[in-house]
Structure 1
Amino acid sequence: MKNVLNLNNYTELKEEKSLMKYLKVLNFHDLMVEAEEALKELNNGKLNKEVSLRSKTIIKEFTNRLKGDSDVFSNGLTVINENLEKNFGKIKDIL
């Protein structure tokens, strides 16, 4: 059995972990600002791995924060996050 991890996957996981640490320390307002900036980048710019990863990670952080407060919102974001994960895998292959 091999424990081999693709270097690109390792780098992506490391970036996501670092971004999650950053997002966790933000208050809700600052997290909303980050989300708005990511949305602007998605709407105005060319899609790339960094913007995709940032957007995916922001949605994960919202989902984690809302789990304790509201199952309705949390469940909705979980579905969005699952769809995003599937599409992110497809986008990674293109980029």
Structure 2
Amino acid sequence: MGEHDLVEQARAALLNSPHLPLRRLQPKAERGKLVLRGVVRSYFHKQMAQETLRHLPEGWRIDNQVLVEWEPLAQPESQSEAGLSPVPTG
């Protein structure tokens, strides 16, 4: 299988994935390996991207360069916004 066909097969697999974040990743063939680049929000999605592409033709391997950039949950500015009451002291 040629590089172009490999990349198209990988792109189709990612686009058909039930995991929506994988659809934004970019596969590229480089020197006998399929390099996967992009950004996801969890290590789970990074691993799912690799699992989605693990059935490559003989002689190809995956170089998973996907970055994980998670966003922490927003913190409330005060206890009252969080629904907490002040603890009585005394």
Q: TM-score, normalised by structure 2?
A: 0.27
Q: TM-score, normalised by structure 1?
A: 0.26
Q: Which has the higher strand share?
A: 2
Bigger Rg over Cα: 2
